[in-house]
Amino acid sequence: MGYDTKSRDEIFVQQKERRIHDSMDPKKAMLRESRDSETHPLSVPIIIALDVTGSMRTIPHQLVKDGLPKLMSAIMQKGIKDPQILFVAVGDCECDSYPLQVGQFESGDEELDLWLTRTYLEGGGGGNAGESYNLAYAFAGMRTQHDAWDKRKQKGFLFTIGDEPCLPHITSTELRETMDEPTQKTFSTDELLKLASEKYHVYHLHVLEGSAGVSSLGYWKELLRDNCIEVAHSEDIPGIISDIVTKDGDKILQDLSGTKTETKEEEIIL
């Protein structure tokens, strides 16, 4: 794509506009679907939600420019042939103009790259001791469907990437303003995590390079336990994601194709 010779504004088309791209507006994204097809018969849905607030410094820029466009190929090379990746950008629903941006589930590097470069790197956030990673949980639980679950009762994967704690709740007003979700309920982060976990294995990649990375690590360890992964170097993130998705490659593939029927249910953990 010639990124090495392009400026930030040339790569990220919304930086000049200073607003969300219409196609990534969650108010218009009533449903995002990961479906099987003749070309991709055993789809594996993967949601990647990246913190694009100011405390992450230049990490979102570098990841979107250099690392994440190669993620699809990395996963396929490790044995999962039909990954479908939905890219999400998260911010702070108490402070930012665009705390949630959502792409589509895609099956190719070039298609994924389209959503990455449409992302508005708002660089906001505030001094309120957290970001709205729970918006990714809300969107996954309320606005996505996938054949991996509907047909095979296989969970997908949801990764949040950031350096702050998560804000404790999302109000009904914030959900309406951000996602146009018709609700009168305030959801706690625990409730939204439970909702997302019904159809996704949820991980947090905690970036220690961010300005709040070290101080907020304990929060995520308590919330997600072993599913909180410490990241010392942000360039390692694509490799960490592909390793998690494919860590039990043979078992996953056998299970997806229905060839391993005698395995106990509790042993099949994606």
pLDDT digits (tens, 9 = 90+) for 22-80: 999 999 999 999 999 999 999 999 999 999 999 898 899 999 888 898 899 899 998 89
Q: Does some domain include residue 216?
A: yes
Q: Does some domain include residue 116?
A: yes
pLDDT bucket at 256, cuts 50 / 70 / 90: low
pLDDT at 213: 72
What is the distance between the alpha carbons of residues 71 and 104, in angstroms, rounded to a whole number? Answer: 15
- 73 within 8 A of 125, measured Cβ to Cβ: no
Q: Does some domain include residue 144?
A: yes
Mean pLDDT within 74-97: 94
Q: Sign of torsion, CA 49 53 55 59?
A: positive
pLDDT at 263: 37
Q: Does some domain include residue 28?
A: yes
pLDDT bucket at 269, cuts 50 / 70 / 90: very low
How many folded domains does the chain comprise?
1
Range of the domain at 169: 3-245
| Sequence letter at residue 262 | E
CATH number of residue 72's parent domain: 3.40.50.410
Q: Does some domain include residue 263?
A: no
Q: Does some domain include residue 90?
A: yes
% the chain with pLDDT above 90: 74
pLDDT digits (tens, 9 = 90+) for 135-145: 999 999 999 99
Q: Does some domain include residue 168?
A: yes
- How many Cβ atoms sit within 10 Å of the Cβ of residue 177? 13
CA distances from 155 to 7, 78, 134, 210, 248 (A): 39, 19, 19, 30, 14
- 129 within 8 A of 170, measured Cβ to Cβ: no
Q: Does some domain include residue 51?
A: yes
pLDDT bucket at 257, cuts 50 / 70 / 90: low
First-last CA distance in the chain: 33
